[in-house]
Structure 1
Amino acid sequence: MASDFFQRGRANIGAALVAAALALSANVAISGPKHGIAMYGDPALPPDFVSLPYANPAAPTGGKIVTGEVGSFDSLNPHIQKGRVPWQLRFIAYESLMGRSWDEPFTLYGLLAESIETDEDRSWAEFTLRPEARFSDGSPVTVEDVMWSYETLGTIGHGRYHGLWKNIASMEQTGERSVKFTFAEPNRELALIVGMRPILKKAQWDEVEFDRSGLDVIPISSAPYVIDDFQAGRFVSLKRNPDYWGADIPFRRGTNVLDEIRLEFFGDGTAQFEAFKAGELNSNREFNAEKWATQYDFPSVERGDVVKSLIPNRRPSGMTGFVMNTRKPLFSDWRVRDAMLHAFNFEYINDTITGGRQSRIGSYFSNSYLGMEDGAASGRVAEMLAPFADTLLPGALDGYALPVSDGSERNRAGLRAAIAQMEAAGYTLQDGVMTGPDGPVSFEILLRQGSTEERAIANIFVQALDRMGITATIEVVESAQYKERTTAFDFDMTWYRFGLSLSPGNEQRRYFGSENAAVEGQRNWAGVEDPAVDAMIDTMLNSTSREDFIAAVRAMDRALMAGRYFLPTYVFTEGRIAHDKRLKYPTTFPIYGDWIGWQPDVWWWEEG
């Protein structure tokens, strides 16, 4: 915590000391309101900072960015469970009390709120709104709007908001522009998370069913951009609000200067890429290293009108690949999951799909200091895992690494290991057919329509499974059905990509917590139910030292990797963006690289 004090009516030094002692005994903060808050230590930027370190405070306004997405949408409300919504709206079209700097592991600075105050234990947090904060219709953002937003989102909003609401013991207005949240349990991260919920205008929803709104209501927000035009399933256009209230506050200075953000939607990745080549889009992210190296040679690139930018990052890889649903009998056995990993010939897949140019995810926190270390667990990591030694799967304590094939299509050694594991799990190979108690082994790989590369990977995997007597079928469904089925965990195996930060916390319960294994709509698609993982999440949330926090993350990473829930694919250590040469960005990159809050936030348009 910072050390400056707000002294109130001190008559003499003795009186001040008495007041401080009383404050401590009552568990009251004595450091006063702050401009920001960090998970550990102090925020890197001082109260009088000019702008975020990766923003250009002199960036001019104007221009537009047009990007493409595969899929469709039938709602403009990203805060409810119902409907398909362009994912960007949640971040571009709404604001919260605090905003995150992506150049620090987990630090927030004042946005709608001018300050935050909390106690040493972070058992409560109090925010004071900026007097100038306004919605796009010109009305002020009030404490009533804040309190209504938290309660509404926490009760009938999207499931992602419910966990925080359950952990708020009380919420009260403490001043004309101040609101205080008191937490129901020890959890140091809650003081930060509570500052990150979107704030909506209460009056707009007085006679509207919030949890059923779709395209009929364009939500009013306080953000720099407002939805200007859209066509269901085709495009959304957001225009910069010239009267945006916060353009000159430090957190916003030099950001959100493009006049228009346009999101175009396509049936598949091929159509999207062709639209980019034709100039219908002016920025395109590329995830395939082979395609980046060999197919970005069209005329506008050769002329220099489109440039290729590589954006480095030091963020955790998260997980990208096929997830196995452990709620299904077949994948409830870790040995079957291990067999799938041996059959999943990544080296051959990588050579076929990317020309061998892409490295593989080795852990949930690859590419960062939070990732598990090679070899056996040691030090604090070993101590934290020791109480669960009897239930941890092989590899968690003594070291685990993904199988590596010889790179050939046949992958004979890998398939032999896979068959051996299936047999250890009680299955037998009879006349070329893998058979279990319920007959021949078969399962379905669920994919979203338009998933071109994922289907190519699945096809190679299916052929390998066929050679070991397992029948896997690929089921491709349109976006609405895919969302419905994954929300209800109605799949055997499917493609899943999620990112992780340098400050993992409460969201890990949504990804991996036992409490969410059976809760539809949560992100624990694998159905992880592991007491060691639950304990490591609890330890992360209540660690008071950085050392214990890192050890808990690494221990959780070990338990998850040994759980063999995913067939991991590529790790992205740098972002690849091809874009119109007039779209510019600062050359100082945040540690998260090309991440939420970077494009289009700090980009600008420059002619010439």
Structure 2
Amino acid sequence: MHLDIRASLICVTLATPVCADVTVSHGFSTFGDLKYGPDFPHFDYANPDAPQGGTMSQRQLYGTPTFNSLNAFIIKGDSAPEVTHHIYDSLMVRAYDEPDALYGLIAETITYPDDLSYVTFDMRPEARFHDGEPVTAADVVFTINALKTDGHPYYRNLLSDVQNITAETDHRVRFDLAPEAGSGVLGAIAELPVLPAHFYDDVPFDESWMTIPVGSGPYVVDTADAPRTITFCKDPDYWASDLPVNAGKNNFDCFNYEYFVDDTVGLEAFAAGEYLMRVEYRSASWATGYDFPAAQNGWVKQMMLPDGRPPSAQGIWFNMRQPALQDIRVREALEYAFNFEWTNETLFYGTYNRTDSFFENTEMEASGIPEGAELALLEPFRDDLPADVFTEPPHSPYAGAASPRDRAALRAASRLLDDAGWIAGDDGMRRNAAGELLSLSFPDDSRSLERVIVPFTENLKSLGIDINFEIIDPSSWSERRQTYDFDLSLTAWGVEVTPGAELRAFYGSASAAAEGGNNLSGVADPVVDALIEKVVAAPTRDDLVAAARALDRVLRSKHLWIGNWHLGAHRVAVWDVFDMPEQRAIYDFNRGVEFWWFDRDKYDALVAAGALTDRF
């Protein structure tokens, strides 16, 4: 293990002297030591001798169905998420074989005191944007101020602990942080893309646009044909190509992403060789869809790549801004209508586990009766929490039964609706005392999970609920989600290995009313806010785990969602033209692909066999 470059005692002369231990380092870890020393040659999961060239062509990231903007930092428009992956460098980059460590990229060193009241980054003077302009501290200041003022609510929540930012020199930038901001904030700051201030002299930061953006990263936007495809190709003058954090990385000449609204069409395109790599999200397709000739001939491989990260927090989220869903009994009733057991066995080939927790399959998942440090965190809020938070294990939804129509679950749901005052009339429909119909909207922009949702909505209809499940175009769904114009939403959030300030965006009160935010359920609870801050400010990993467990327990008691399912691995299909390091990046699959490389001999053989056309 490697510690910091140096630590020293710095005294500032004020009315009374103020002294603090200050760390100066090539890297930063939220808790504990760094794996890599200041002179490390490359990450262990990188092959510094990897061949260069070729194209990584794949389906769009995260299942995003469309894009009409290259501005990835604001609410307006549907941005291409791949932009932030490829064209922007950050002050530091994450090591994907450590849970929470970062190492310098634009920043050569990071400086911070023990109390984390501030952080200073000394930047590499050789850093350049694609147009040749230097990357300076003023660009970092511009980035933070723009994101805090006009950025997506996610960024505004993430940066709420930044009280002030100052360019002390052209290549030194200082962040002054709120008291008890926590070490996770330092990591969040360090990973933010650094934007070129001069680019926004002519391009509005707060508008959607298709102008080719300027960054300082390894790739530039080569072509962008919205909403169908976007391609990034190497910047031949990339300033950081020889840095240790980039050794064995960025081996492809280009990254190409093909967008598909209909995933069935996307699979057909993959089978025809129109793109070369595909993460498969549908278990049915994985089990039965790869019987096309290229797969039968061995030209296409199916791989299960393990993932060390927590599963996504995927579920059907209840929008508690809507009056009917403010009653917890109604939300509980909706949970009973989702039959996971039947869904998993019949539609998913028994491949998934049920998701109960917001930190599923990690040490941060609450279990049993609260005790020790977790109980101590919850105790001050005893009067504000349901009694069973302290006396019962955390809530887990009813699993379901082997038959599609689980009568026991539906009877339990019916009783809850009756207790909530939604009574079934002669026509079988449920109304309240004012005669209002229990009507719920459930929009989505993809048909890929329609086979899962339709049995759920049929159960809701059998309970007398007027449920309107509709597939709408992606732009309409994006607009409705920004204004919270829905009752139910099938959505997944990524969960960090070391969660921190981003939790405010998903579950914090400040984000509940922010248009376009990530708090889909609209949860606004001072207890939740207080526990989020305990996670953010946790001084040790043990403290973070205890705080996350307490937060998980309280969130689960609120019945914010119907937790879906998780796998713990990635189903990946590739045309057999790629190789990858033997040791893989276990904490981020999507970024791990950046360490793969193109095998020209394999590709040429498939072209010669007529399996692929020579265009990659």
Short-chain TM bin: over 0.9
Partner of 1:387: 380
Indicate the residue corresponding to 2:166 in structure 1.
172
1:57 alignment partner AA: P
Counterpart among 448, 451, 458 of residue 456 in structure 1:
451
Task: State whether residues 378 and 550 of structure 2, in contact with CA within 8 Å, keep that contact through their aligned partners in structure 1.
Answer: yes
Secondary structure of 2:347's counterpart equals helix
Listed one character per residue, the Cα deviations across residues 285-337 of structure 1 (whole Å, up to 9, x for unaligned) are 11223321222122112222211111112322231121110011111111111
Q: Aligned residue for 2:439?
A: 442
Displacement of 1:29 after TM fit? 4.2
From 551, 554, 559, give the equivalent of 1:559.
554
**Counterpart residue identity of residue 295, structure 1:** G
* Secondary structure of residue in 2 paired with 1:242: coil
Once the two structures are superposed, residues 390-428 of structure 1 have per-residue CA deviations (whole angstroms, 9 ceiling, x without a partner) of 332475331122202222112011101111111222222
Of 107, 126, 133, the residue aligned with 1:132 is 126
Residue 159 of structure 1 corresponds to 153
Alpha carbons 1:108, 1:192 under 8 Å: kept? yes
Please name the residue that 2:289 is paired with: 295
Q: 1:18-417 residue pairs with structure 2 within 5 A?
A: 26-31=18-23, 33-69=24-60, 71-188=65-182, 189-215=184-210, 217-373=211-367, 375-393=368-386, 395-397=388-390, 398-399=392-393, 400-417=395-412
Query: Using the alignment, how far apart are the partners of 1:530 and 1:40 within structure 2?
Result: 28
C-alpha distance in structure 2 between counterparts of 1:478 and 1:322, whole Å: 19
Q: Per the alignment, do residues 429 and 606 of structure 1 end up closer, same or farther by CA in structure 2, a change over 3 Å counting?
A: same
User: Structure 1 CA distance, aligned partners of 2:163 and 2:157?
Assistant: 12
Look up the equivalent residue of 2:6 and give its one-letter code. F
Q: Is the 8 A contact 2:11 2:18 kept in 1?
A: no
Does the residue aligned with 1:66 lie in a helix, a strand or coil? strand
* In 2, Cα distance between equivalents of 1:496 and 1:25: 52
AA at the equivalent of 2:469: I
Preserved contact between residue 396 and residue 561 of structure 1 (Cα < 8 Å): no
Q: State the partner residue of 1:603.
A: 596
- 2: CA distance between counterparts of 1:27 and 1:456? 63
SS in structure 1 opposite 2:149? helix
Deviation string, structure 1 residues 129-160 (Cα, Å, up to 9, x no partner): 11221111222212222222222222122222
2: distance between equivalents of 1:588 and 1:368? 22
Aligned partners of 2:336 and 2:398 also within 8 Å: yes
* 1:433 maps to which of 399, 424, 429: 429
Instruction: Give distance in 2, aligned partners of 1:418 and 1:506.
Output: 36
Q: Secondary structure at the match of 1:453?
A: coil
Is residue 2:411 matched to residue 1:420? no
Report the residue type matching 2:501 in the other structure. Answer: N
Q: Contact (CA 8 Å) 2:11, 2:19: kept in 1 or not? A: no
SS at match of 1:440: coil
Report the residue type matching 2:47 in the other structure: N
Specify which of 505, 511, 515 is matched with residue 520 of structure 1. Answer: 515
In 2, Cα distance between equivalents of 1:593 and 1:91: 12
SS of match in other structure, 2:190: coil
Deviations 1:419-455 (A, max 9, x none): 111122222233333222343322111111xx12322
Question: Following superposition of structure 1 onto structure 2, how do residues 456-495 of structure 1 map, counting pairs within 5 Å?
Answer: 456-495=451-490
CA contact (8 A) 1:574 1:593 kept: no
Tell which deviates more after alignment, 219-228 or 457-466.
457-466
**Aligned counterparts of 1:259 and 1:80: Cα–Cα separation in 2:** 29
Give the superposition deviation at 1:20.
7.0
Deviation string, structure 1 residues 344-374 (Cα, Å, up to 9, x no partner) = 111112223212222221211112221112x
| Equivalent AA in structure 2 for residue 509 of structure 1 | R
Please tell me whether the aligned partners of residues 303 and 573 of structure 2 are also in contact (alpha carbons under 8 angstroms): yes
Superimposed CA distance per residue, residues 556-590 of structure 1 (whole angstroms, 9 cap, x where no aligned partner): 11111121111121212000110121122223233
What corresponds to 1:508 in structure 2? 503
Q: Deviations over 1:239-284 (max 9, x none)?
A: 0112211111111111111111111112311111110011101001
- Give 3-state SS (helix, strand or coil) of 1:95's partner: coil
Shift of 1:126: 0.6
How far off is 1:207 after superposition? 2.8
Aligned to 2:612: none
Q: 1:2 maps to what in 2?
A: 3
SS in 2 for 1:251: helix
Are the counterparts in 2 of residues 51 and 250 from structure 1 also a CA contact under 8 Å?
yes
Query: How many residues end up aligned between the 2 structures?
Result: 591
Q: 1:6 to 1:413 in 2, by over 3 A?
A: closer
- Corresponding residue for residue 576 of structure 1: 571
Q: Secondary structure of the equivalent of 1:330?
A: helix
The residue number in structure 2 matching 1:13 is none
Q: CA deviation at 1:237?
A: 0.9
Letter in structure 2 aligned against 1:604: W
Distance 1:61 1:590 in 2: 19
Tell me if the contact between 2:333 and 2:412 (Cα under 8 Å) persists in the aligned partners.
Answer: yes
Distance 2:171 2:322 in 1: 51
Task: State the Cα distance separating 1:28 from its structure 2 match.
Answer: 4.0
Taking the aligned partners of 2:101 and 2:509, their CA distance within structure 1 comes to: 28
Alpha carbons 1:126, 1:178 under 8 Å: kept? yes
Structure 2 counterpart of 1:441, one-letter code: L
C-alpha distance in 2 between matches for 1:540 and 1:150: 23
Distance in 2 separating the partners of 1:605 and 1:521: 39
Q: Report the alpha carbon displacement of residue 461 of structure 1 after superposing the two structures with TM.
A: 0.7
Tell me if structure 1 keeps the 8 A contact 2:4–2:25: no
Deviations 1:36-68 (A, max 9, x none): 111112222111122223222221111111112
Whole-angstrom distance in 2 between the partners of 1:517 and 1:266: 31
Choose 119-128 or 177-186, whichever is displaced more: 177-186
On the 8 A contact 1:141/1:201 being kept in 2, the answer is yes
Cα separation, 2, equivalents of 1:5 and 1:72: 48
1:27 touches 1:119 (CA, 8 Å); kept in 2?
no
* Unpaired segments ≥5 residues, structure 1: 8-16
Moved more, 169-178 or 415-424: 169-178
In the alignment, structure 2 segments of 5+ residues that lack a partner are: 602-616
Kept in 1: contact 2:12–2:19 (CA 8 A): no
- Return the alpha-carbon distance in structure 2 between the equivalents of residues 28 and 383 of structure 1: 30
1:319–1:568 CA contact under 8 A, matched in 2: yes
Letter paired with 1:231: D
- The residue number in structure 1 matching 2:610 is none
User: Which secondary structure state, in structure 2, belongs to the residue aligned with residue 380 of structure 1?
Assistant: helix
Q: Which amino acid aligns with 1:185?
A: P
CA distance in 2, matches of 1:104, 1:336: 42
Q: Which amino acid counterpart does residue 167 of structure 2 have in structure 1?
A: Q
Give the alignment's TM-score, normalised by structure 1.
0.93
User: Partners of 2:322 and 2:474 in 1: how far apart?
Assistant: 23
d(CA) in 2 for partners of 1:514 and 1:51? 42
Identity in percent:
34
For 1:591 and 1:384, locate their aligned partners in 2 and report how far apart those are by CA, in whole Å.
32
| Cα distance in 2 between the residues matched to 1:323 and 1:184 | 32
C-alpha contact 1:105 1:501 (8 A) present in aligned 2: no
